[in-house]
Amino acid sequence: MEIVSQTADRSSQREDEAARNGAAVSPRRLLGALREVALVATRAHTPSEVALVAATQVARLLECDDAVVRWWNAKRDRLELLADTRPDRSGRAGDIASGEGAVGIAFASASPVIVEDYARWAHQVSSSIAVGSGVAVPLLLQDSAVGALAIYSRQSRRYKETEVQLLLLFAAQVAPVIEAALLRITSQRETSRVEASDRQLRDMLDAALDAHIVMDRHGRITEWNAQAEAMFGWRRDEVVGKELADTLIPPALRDAHRTALGHYLTTGDGPILNRRVELEALRKNGITFPVELTVAPIGTAEGPAFSAFLRDISERRQVDEQLRRLALHDALTGLPNRILLYDRAEQAFEVAKRSKSSVALLLMDLDGFKDINDAYGHHVGDVLLQEVAIRLRTGLRASDTVARLGGDEFAILLPDSDETRALAMAKMLRVALDTPITIEGVRMPIASSVGISLFPAHGEDPLTLLRRADIAMYAAKRRGAGVALYEEGSDLEGAARLGLASDLRDALKEGQLRLSFQPVIDLRADRVCIMEALARWEHPRLGQVAPTEFIALAERTGLMSQLSSWALKAALNKSREWAQRGIAVAVNMAVSDLSDSAFPDRVRAAVEEAGVAPAVLHLEVTESGVMSEPERILTCLERLRDIGVRLAIDDFGTGSSSLAYLHRLPIHACKIDRSFVRRLTTEASSVAIVRATIELAHALELRVIAEGVEDAETLEVLRGMGCDLAQGYFISEPLADSATEAWLAASSWAGAGT
């Protein structure tokens, strides 16, 4: 292989990481591209038609700008141009000699030629069209070069080894296809070789993952592969010769099909031709199912015909529907989540503005829920939350919305409701929870506190109303009243809450907070690769304060910046001890951090002060946090990415990030929420969601971390799905700082005993 020039640092960080992770074009896409070439080869009238499809397909496959195919004419001793996708025809070279330009060198040497920067290439180019870089490979038949295939990019760039190997593989498959087309079209070679090549093409179509059907101009089926038999239930001898409309199309769509066919034959206009469309198809047993269809017109000796590839997308539709529902609903209770609540609130506010009415927003949490979780386990807590969701829905109007915001927090949106109705509904909902719930033979009483805010009196957007309902809810807890309406100028948390805020401020100054670390393992290497830092606070009077409580308190009282700075500095100081072992440190970020334009500068300063590489630091933010202010947070994440730190989405699947938005984020990994991982060995829906999430993340070149792994069976299922990283109590519980070295010395995950 000849590499004729180098360009420095032209690949992005993400390309480097993708290369390290072995990202490549999927076999399905490669087969699809080869299938298109094979199909044209069976019907083409000139070899250039086949070559042009091959050039177009490989350019799309490798995401380059253009491609060229040349074929050797032994009589003229020249490489003839069969196809060139470049739009500028004036600068194209016609026929070239062996050894001329990158294409000629690839042909003459029977090996790849990589030109990373044509401006610096010492060899003579064979075309005056300006290109930045390219790769040329020989087209080989029985180890002899018969032509060459080249791809071009308009910018100079590096080509990964996987790209070159894929181009070689494509060329190896396309060469006999072009040869077969040449043999059939020119009739210059023996008949047996033509038949063997045609048989190879038909075998490729029969081996395709999709159903392949050919229909003539009269609407009759003329070709039918093995996958079509499996998909529709008709044998080839049963269906060839039948009218496609009466056989495969649901009755309601048959007239439209016949009309469209007639319109195309008359005008040449076919709206669905050469496009990927989704529609309903009909099996032999009369059951309809969704398919993805790609259909193209082809020429035959008998006149125009149509070649179609169909894929059964029933399973994909189910997974898509589950993903859409999960994007807007809580996975545990099935209730709307925060984003769907916000959307419905905005709609209710618009209606209220027009009708000059009010809207009530109630925020409820369960008193003592943490104690139930601690005493009986999370599975009991989950059952309790599901029962609460059922009870809260009872008695509400169809226009009302009950949403779960996370943990034991629920919100109730009441359109067209004033203070009187809101107070009455709050009391009714608390009464609905009065009857104890029996779980595993234990009667569990449910107490709750409710805060109320009103639109437009207390705010004109969902975030403001939710925040003020939260203030009212803590006032209800403080007073022991159970229900409270927001009061203008009311104390944010009450005297006791502000007292704890003062204690937290002192704790940050006096170094009372500590970090614990939970190991994250690489499932391929079976070694720890990340330690996630988790803040802990041992209050001198109250004992251990729950992280959810003091972190929320820091958010409400403006201490989050100090808490984040402390956590960053402490974690990075610890990372110095682990960096040589290849262990990174992960720190969680708050939404307020990402909304602070100074946060990236604080991160840069902390990394420089610790004297470690930026990539040692992994920062995590929750999915719902990212979606709270998407554009502002995107800017912050891009600045963090530019510093060189690694970024991850935490609790993926519990928020509402759209796939269209997710691919814009400059992140390196996503963490699948424990609620899906915990049910991985018991619920088929969780298996489908986790598998789809892993495939989606890998398609976006993201690593996948599964959290909440509690047993060996779950770990092996994740490993089989291709999950990259995992953490959970099966691997290790969070470790005090002082215990991490002992664990690293003793645990097999850290290489002990190997």
Task: Give 365-378 pLDDT, tens digit per residue.
Answer: 998 887 787 777 88
Long-range contacts of 725-731 (CB under 8 A, 24+ apart): 725/520, 725/521, 725/522, 725/523, 725/529, 725/530, 725/669, 726/520, 726/521, 726/523, 727/518, 727/519, 727/520, 727/521, 727/532, 728/674, 728/677, 731/519, 731/521
Percent of the chain whose pLDDT exceeds 70: 86
Inform me whether the pLDDT recorded for 585 exceeds 90: yes
- Band (pLDDT 50/70/90 cuts) for residue 151 is very high
The tokens of 570 are what? 């402490």
Comparing 478 with 360, which gets the higher pLDDT? Answer: 360
Q: Which residues contact 136 (CB under 8 A, 6 or more apart)?
A: 102, 103, 105, 106, 112, 113, 115, 148, 149, 150
Comparing 148 with 301, which gets the higher pLDDT? Answer: 148
- Band (pLDDT 50/70/90 cuts) for residue 511 is confident
Q: What is the average per-residue pLDDT within 244-248? A: 92
Inform me whether the pLDDT recorded for 659 exceeds 60: no
The tokens of 153 are what? 């990019």
Comparing 467 with 135, which gets the higher pLDDT? Answer: 135
Q: Report the distance separating Cα 256 and Cα 260, nearest Å.
A: 6
How many Cβ atoms are within 10 Å of 534's Cβ, its own excluded? Answer: 18
Q: Report the distance separating Cα 232 and Cα 239, nearest Å.
A: 10
Distance of CA 378 to the CA centre of its chain: 28
Q: Which residues contact 631 (CB under 8 A, 6 or more apart)?
A: none
Q: What secondary structure does DSSP assign to 463-508, as a single string? A: HHHHHHHHHHHHHHHHHT-SEEE--TT--SSHHHHHHHHHHHHHHH
Q: What is the average per-residue pLDDT within 723-728? A: 95
Q: What is the average per-residue pLDDT within 400-409? A: 92
What is the model's pLDDT at position 385? 94
What is the model's pLDDT at position 561? 86
Inform me whether the pLDDT recorded for 217 exceeds 60: yes
- What's at 713, amino acid-wise? E
Q: Report the distance separating Cα 332 and Cα 654, nearest Å.
A: 10
What is the model's pLDDT at position 10? 33
Q: What is the average per-residue pLDDT within 632-653? A: 87
Q: Report the distance separating Cα 350 and Cα 315, nearest Å.
A: 38
Q: What is the average per-residue pLDDT within 204-227? A: 80
Inform me whether the pLDDT recorded for 150 exceeds 80: yes
What is the model's pLDDT at position 627? 66
pTM score: 0.41
What is the model's pLDDT at position 194? 45
Q: What is the average per-residue pLDDT within 573-580? A: 89
- Band (pLDDT 50/70/90 cuts) for residue 362 is very high
What's the chain's average pLDDT? 84
Residue found under tokens 């032994």? 74
DSSP structure class, residue 336: B
Instruction: Tell how strand 447-455 and strand 483-485 pair up.
Output: parallel
SS (H, E, C) 205-229: HHCCCCEEEEEECCCEEEEECHHHH
Lowest mean pLDDT segment, chosen from 50-54, 211-215, 673-677: 673-677
The edge-to-edge listing of strands for the beta sheet with 359-367 is 401-406, 409-414, 359-367, 447-455, 483-485
- Band (pLDDT 50/70/90 cuts) for residue 89 is low
pLDDT in tens, 301-312: 677 888 888 888
Q: What is the average per-residue pLDDT within 675-687? A: 84
Distance of CA 592 to the CA centre of its chain: 25
Q: Which residues contact 431 (CB under 8 A, 6 or more apart)?
A: none
Find out whether 690 and 658 touch, Cβ atoms under 8 Å: no
- Band (pLDDT 50/70/90 cuts) for residue 347 is very high
Comparing 565 with 556, which gets the higher pLDDT? Answer: 565
Q: Report the distance separating Cα 35 and Cα 208, nearest Å.
A: 8
- Band (pLDDT 50/70/90 cuts) for residue 149 is very high
Q: Report the distance separating Cα 459 and Cα 453, nearest Å.
A: 8
Find out whether 664 and 638 touch, Cβ atoms under 8 Å: no
pLDDT in tens, 279-325: 999 999 999 999 988 888 887 667 788 888 888 888 888 877 777 77
